[in-house]
Structure 1
Amino acid sequence: RWGDPYRRSGRRPRPWKEPSGTVVHGVLEEFDAERQVILWNTVPTHPHLPEQPLSNRRPSRPEVAAGLTYVQRLIDIVRPRLVVGVGRIAAETLGSRAVYVRHPAQSGATAFRAGMRALL
């Protein structure tokens, strides 16, 4: 999607689509909102299992706390009309500043789409 100079996270000769990202961008494209929305992870790094960079794991409390510093600063700078916490970790971390929407992973795509459609 972004091309060079960004490095891929894997060694596959061809990139592949990440399922949750595909769902998120699909909803944004449906409402022509791709250029009106800023996507930012509560934890801006990729928490993964040791020696398995393409795996996923729940972020630790210190990782979430460190990431919140960046999220708060971004919100202060951008002053968005709406902040959506996608998933429990994001929503709990952001507290009353965010509207909760189910994360699309782990069979949550339908609920995510419904939640985002209600907001957009």
Structure 2
Amino acid sequence: MSEFRDDSEFFNSLFELELDNVFNPYKHICGFHDVENSPYVRRQNIQLFFESARSAKVSTLWIGRDLGYRGGRRTGLPLTDEGNLNRLARVMNESRFRQATRGAIWPERTARVVWDMLAEINQPVFLWNVFPYHPHGPNSEMENRSHTSRERFITAGFLKYVLDTLKPDTIVSIGRDAHTAVNSIGYNCIPVRHPSYGGQTDFIGAIAKIYNLRLLAKKATQLDLF
């Protein structure tokens, strides 16, 4: 049973949590790239994504590890950078996603690989992270670190609520940490290698197998995604 009674309680908790060396994109303002209403835009983005996933009755969830400083920190959306907002809008049939930062768009490598695959699948998929914030080092916000076991424990209720609410038929865990976290709350998932650090070919091949995309499997050894 989830610790949150409804969406309102879920989102209020998600938006208000404070942790050391963690950027909460739904509450905090980045002094480098944000404007005053950036947290509000990111709140709208994640709520629209969740609502559109429910309306579309998504059957698949992809779970990553943390928000990255080039992706979800800026958009408020798991595994999605600003350059892929239009792809998200098309797949979810929702046109109201917005850029929350000023200046140039920053591409994120992981988001690019993920969205190249989602474009091939061309069906609604909900994306989430084990740790739904951007964990960073004590001396630099513009870096990524892995969340700690304590941070995972504190935020485990968010992941459970998403899974309990959307009730997917298939859960794809991207990377070892995501696989461990999903299993720890009682859900089965299909593990795939994370596309970073040379894992993009294995990631593409695994996704192709899950979705029975034969031509895509062949492309796994030909794409230069970076």
Question: Which of 23, 26, 32 matches 2:113?
Answer: 23
For residues 23 and 94 of structure 1, the distance between their equivalents in structure 2, rounded to whole angstroms, comes to 22
SS, match of residue 29 in structure 1:
helix
Q: Given residue 182 of structure 2, which amino acid in structure 1 is its aligned partner?
A: L
1:105 counterpart (176, 183, 196) = 196
- Deviation of 1:31 after TM superposition, in Å, equals 1.4
Q: Which residue in 2 is equivalent to 1:72?
A: 160
How many pairs are equivalent?
113
Measured in 1, the distance between the counterparts of 2:182 and 2:205 equals 21
| In structure 2, distance between residues paired with 1:88 and 1:46 | 18
1:48 and 2:48 are equivalent in the alignment: no
What is the CA distance between 1:99 and its match in structure 2? Answer: 1.1
CA RMSD between the two structures: 1.5
Q: Any idea what the Cα deviations from partners look like across 1:1-58, whole Å, max 9, x if unmatched? A: 2424x3x3xx7x201210000000100101113xx10000010001111232221111
SS state of the match for residue 135, structure 2? coil
Secondary structure at the aligned position of 1:39 is classed as strand
Whole-Å Cα distance in 2 between the matches of residues 28 and 53 of structure 1?
A: 29
Structure 2, unmatched stretches of 5+, are 1-84, 86-96, 212-226
- Tell me which residue corresponds to 2:40: none
Distance 2:98 2:139 in 1: 26
- Identity, % of aligned positions: 28
Deviation at 1:77, TM superposition (A): 0.5
Unmatched tracts of structure 1, length 5 or more: none
Counterpart of 1:104 in structure 2: which amino acid? P
Q: Tell me the CA shift for residue 68 of structure 1.
A: 2.0
Q: Which of 84, 98, 112 is the equivalent residue of 1:3?
A: 98
Once residues 21 and 113 of structure 1 are traced to their aligned partners in structure 2, the CA distance between those partners, rounded to angstroms, is 13
Greater per-residue strand proportion: 2
- TM-score normalised to structure 1 length: 0.86
Does 1:89 find its partner at 2:89? no
Q: Provide the C-alpha distance between the structure 1 equivalents of 2:179 and 2:150, rounded to a whole number of angstroms.
A: 17
CA distance in 1 between partners of 2:195 and 2:142 (Å): 18
Q: Which runs of 4+ in 1 moved over 6 A?
A: none
